[in-house]
Amino acid sequence: MSVAVTSFAIFAASQVGTPGPANMALMATGARFGFRAALPFVAGVALGKQLVIWPVGFGLMELAARAPWVFEALKYVSAAYIIWLAWKVANLRLGETRDAGEAPGFVAGLIVHPLNPKAWAMIVGGFTAFVAPGTPVVEATATIAAVLLGCQILLHPLWTLTGEAIARTVVGTALEPYLMWTLAALTVASVLFVLFGGGT
């Protein structure tokens, strides 16, 4: 095939399933609001990656080659936004929010991956490492999009459920602030690793 689907699926699952800014946001949302209330956010996060995949497939990488400073600036703006979200998570207390406020919705989920450096690195890596030269753009982009969406549909809810399960054991206890700070710290660490550690 023009796209190495099996190899890319393994790569995609390893990337979607490991800690990163989006998964930390999903875990924190599950911890704060519970799995059911977080589902619109989960759906938005899963579909939001498509907002990156299709433009990349249809020529954004060419723009990156011509004006690399634009993407360098975007990378740091995105990281700053996600770190700001992490700060908000760090200061949440589950006992105060389970009965008040609303979970972030579908639209909030949509913007997570377009502002996620790991998502950009993963998608660009997919196109450059697993698509054979000369592959039709529509075929390559649709394949990358379908494989990533499948992985997200399977794995993103698991991160959200994990957050809910962890929260049930610590809500209202002395461990609660440490949980929220840990989630926030992992989010920041994942962003810094992508920016400076060469990770994807």
pLDDT score, position 99: 46
8 Å CB contact between 147 and 1: no
Residue 3 dihedral angles phi and psi, to the nearest 5°: -120, 130
Task: Say what angle helices 21-33 and 35-48 make with each other, to 10 degrees.
Answer: 160
pLDDT digits (tens, 9 = 90+) for 131-180: 887 788 888 899 999 999 999 999 999 999 988 888 788 767 787 778 77
Task: Tell which residue, 130, 140, 142, 147, has the closest CA to residue 12.
Answer: 147
Task: Tell which residue, 31, 5, 28, 21, has the closest CA to residue 151.
Answer: 5
- Residue 68, classed as helix, strand or coil, is helix
pTM: 0.71
On the question of pLDDT at 21 being above 90, the answer is no
On the question of pLDDT at 118 being above 70, the answer is yes
Q: Say how far apart CA 21 and CA 113 lie, in whole Å.
A: 9
In the chain, domain spans: 5-196
8 Å CB contact between 11 and 148: no
Mean pLDDT of 109-115: 89
Mean pLDDT of 3-12: 86
On the question of pLDDT at 4 being above 80, the answer is yes
pLDDT score, position 72: 65
Across 3-12, 17-26, 125-134, the highest mean pLDDT is recorded for: 3-12
On the question of pLDDT at 41 being above 80, the answer is yes
pLDDT digits (tens, 9 = 90+) for 45-97: 999 999 999 988 887 656 656 766 765 666 676 667 667 767 776 776 655 54
